[in-house]
């Protein structure tokens, strides 16, 4: 796990000395693992950086913001909780867009604003290798384009960058790590939780992975080995 994270950070030059990094915390195992690892690395690397965990509460009833804040505090951080109605608005009858797309867009927009308020030029997300592969297939199947999430993406002419230090880490490793650390499980109250095109793609890919253990790695490597001469 640590080696994969270190490799991704080094390969893409994600973090520099003196960085102020907003860490998007969702309550899931991925973002909690990301926060833990980025914090733990400070004890054994020569550079210094600051971490600012932020949770965008979508506003559904029976949320877990208080419990998440308490857990993050035990990790040594004060969690910025941003109360919103993004989830409720996105699922209202007046929204003609995909509710998950609109909710995610609103939450990301607010994260950019908070990063600017905190003086953070980098936002770290807990997306991992399997997220990147699944996004690749989602865009092919449902958006009609060949693209995915990049380990580092720059926005606003370089003013802010999104970094994904878990880009080389497989989801199963994160699950084992979070179980080992006994991270709590925060159940999202979102009505669309577990019902998505991403879940369908994940199930399809898992069938392929079970048939041949090399497929996951081959797909991931193929995104860096594109032959445009054999594309339309």
Give all domains of the chain, ordered by start, each with its CATH number: 2-193 (3.40.50.620)
Q: How confident is the model at residue 195 (pLDDT cuts 50, 70, 90)?
A: low
- Looking at residue 32, the DSSP 8-state letter turns out to be H
Percent of the chain whose pLDDT exceeds 90: 81
CA distance 192 to 91: 9
pLDDT of 12 above 70? yes
Average pLDDT (221-225) is 95
pLDDT of residue 45: 94
Q: How many CA atoms lie within 13 A of 30 on its CB side?
A: 19
pLDDT of 191 above 80? no
Show the tokens assigned to 92: 């209202």
pLDDT of residue 96: 62
Strands (E), the chain: 20-24, 50-57, 80-83, 122-124, 152-155, 160-163
Residue 210's φ and ψ, nearest 5 degrees, are -65, -30
Q: How confident is the model at residue 188 (pLDDT cuts 50, 70, 90)?
A: confident
Average pLDDT (7-31) is 97
Q: At what angle do helices 197-211 and 129-138 cross, to 10 degrees?
A: 110
- Average pLDDT value for the chain: 93
Q: How many CB atoms lie within 10 A of CB 31?
A: 21
CA dist 173 → 1, 34, 88, 127, 168 (Å): 7, 12, 33, 13, 11
- The whole-angstrom distance between residue 88's C-alpha and the CA centroid of its chain comes to 22
Residue 46's φ and ψ, nearest 5 degrees, are -80, -10
CA distance 94 to 215: 42
Entry pTM = 0.94
């Amino acid at each position: 796990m640590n080696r994969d994270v270190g490799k991704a950070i080094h390969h893409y030059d994600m973090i520099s000395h003196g960085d102020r990094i907003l860490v998007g915390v969702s309550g899931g195992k991925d973002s909690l693992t990301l926060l833990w690892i980025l914090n733990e690395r400070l004890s054994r690397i020569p550079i210094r950086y600051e971490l600012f965990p932020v949770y965008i509460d979508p506003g559904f009833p029976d949320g877990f913001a208080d419990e998440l804040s308490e857990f993050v505090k035990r990790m040594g951080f004060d969690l910025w909780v941003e109360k919103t109605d993004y989830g409720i608005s996105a699922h209202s009858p007046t929204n003609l867009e995909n509710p998950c797309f609109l909710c995610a867009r609103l939450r990301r927009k607010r994260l950019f604003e908070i990063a600017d308020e905190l003086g953070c030029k980098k936002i770290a997300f807990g997306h991992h290798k399997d997220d990147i592969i699944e996004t690749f297939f989602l865009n092919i199947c449902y958006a009609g384009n060949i693209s995915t999430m990049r380990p580092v993406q720059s926005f606003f002419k370089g003013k802010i960058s999104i970094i994904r230090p878990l880009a080389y880490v497989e989801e199963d490793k994160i699950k084992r790590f979070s179980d080992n650390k006994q991270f709590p499980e925060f159940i999202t109250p979102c009505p669309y939780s577990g019902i998505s095109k991403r879940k369908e793609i994940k199930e399809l890919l898992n069938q392929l992975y079970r048939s041949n253990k090399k497929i996951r790695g081959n797909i991931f490597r193929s995104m860096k080995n594109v032959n445009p001469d054999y594309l339309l």
